[in-house]
Amino acid sequence: MKIYTKTGDTGTTALFGGTRVPKHHIRIESYGTIDELNSHLGLIRDQDIDSLYKDILINIQDKLFTVGAILATDPEKAILKNGKERLNIQKISDEDIELLEQEIDSMNDVLPPMTHFVLPGGHQTVSFCHITRCVCRRAERLTAALNDLEPVEPNALIYLNRLSDYLFVLARKLTYDLQADEIKWIPKKS
């Protein structure tokens, strides 16, 4: 597989299905941000964290490749002439979303109740998690904006929403595991 093709030298790229669009197209921004999110997840996975978190993160990274493939497919060319889907991979399932919810609930069960917003930070690993959460929210916003223009598979959008929740709770759980300080944001009265 050749890495450079020179077909994008004029500022366009091809979607799965062959349609060429500008590299700044909202669809490209959406799946490009998914790729960025996936890289940040790899950074969290590279930290000294429990192997359970690493296994879940690998699962999430796999699902994000699926989301990226969905977003990279031209919806007008998603169905072939023979009626089959061009993208022949498992989509994001209800079970994928439920796994994130189960992990959120499991972590929350051992955490102290949240009474205030918390300031990101306290430990480098926790900070990586908060940065990743922010990238996830951006990916979700871009995908939602794309969905306003062209329909996106609903479970892909739901997955991104739940993933940002998971990453927030993971940041809190890592704070707990690493015995780092969780600094509450308490607004100052004027």
Q: Judge contact between 148 and 36, C-beta under 8 A.
A: no
Domain extent for 40: 22-177
Residue 14 reports pLDDT greater than 80 = no
Q: What are the CA-CA distances from residue 157 to residues 100, 101, 119, 131, 186 (Å)?
A: 14, 15, 26, 20, 32
Overall number of domains in the chain = 1
pLDDT at residue number 19: 81
Asked whether residue 189 is domain-assigned, the answer is no
Can you give the length of the chain in residues? 190
What is d(CA 170, CA 13) in angstroms, rounded to the nearest whole number? 35
Residue 79 reports pLDDT greater than 70 = no
Asked whether residue 185 is domain-assigned, the answer is no
Asked whether residue 186 is domain-assigned, the answer is no
Q: Is 45 exposed, middle or buried (0-12, 13-18, 19+ CB in 10 A)?
A: middle
Q: Is 10 exposed, middle or buried (0-12, 13-18, 19+ CB in 10 A)?
A: exposed
pLDDT at residue number 42: 98
